[in-house]
A and B are shown apart, each in its own frame.
Chain A
């Protein structure tokens, strides 16, 4: 069974379109995250939800809107796509969010978004 799954794996779309990426985890974790990996492979946190509540929003343009219908799902909707949104988007989940916790984050396979 896949722990963290994302759909679609690849997404090619034109500027100005609206698209969504879905994420599901079957690990029973309370916290889920979205990370963006840019063309230089740099990974940066975008959002985090804990039990359906938004707890991190890292100065992401408001064209990006996460939605968590339940604690096993965290979707990412992007409005009015721009060229600079092209990246790999990773969903992740974690058992515990405390600083010293040994629980790692489990990552989904990533969604490669290409905006043309």
Chain B
């Protein structure tokens, strides 16, 4: 069975500092994708970054980067230079093969950025 685990229910970070949100996963599929979504207090789900299981390099998108350690089955999100607008819930999700494309989500991490 596939599973995503986010062990940090809540985190605080000072504005302009970097923060790492943890995500570990479990799957027996050789081909899978890992996603991070942001959910601000307004409720919408915003796609941030994607990492494929066969990708050799860590994904980056602006201030977001994904620290992918395949052997450890971890896909941590790193946000550099935190901004007040980064305060939100962050979800790690996985899509495996033969699963109809469904996303399996972690429990989420609520990030609060302090001024």
Contacts and interface: CB of A to CB of B under 8 A. Distances in A.
B56 interface: no
Nearest to B42: A109
Contacts, number: 84
Interface in A14-63: 31, 33, 35, 40-45, 48, 50, 55-56, 58
Contacts of A35: 103
Nearest to B2: A99
A2 B97 CA distance: 29
A79 interface: no
A86 to B, nearest CB: 15
Interface in B15-58: 29, 31-33, 35, 37, 39, 43-45, 47, 50, 52-54
A109 B45 CA distance: 7
Contacts of B31: 98-100
B44 A99 contact: no
Given A88-B43, A106-B47, A42 B102 contact: no
A69 to B, nearest CB: 20
Contacts of B52: 100, 102
Contact of A42 (B43, B45, B108): B108
B85 to A, nearest CB: 18
B33 A55 contact: no
A43 to B, nearest CB: 4
Contact of B44 (A104, A109, A112): A109
A112 B42 CA distance: 12
Given A92-B103, A99-B29, 7 more contacts: A33-B101, A33-B103, A41-B39, A42-B108, A50-B100, A99-B95, A102-B52
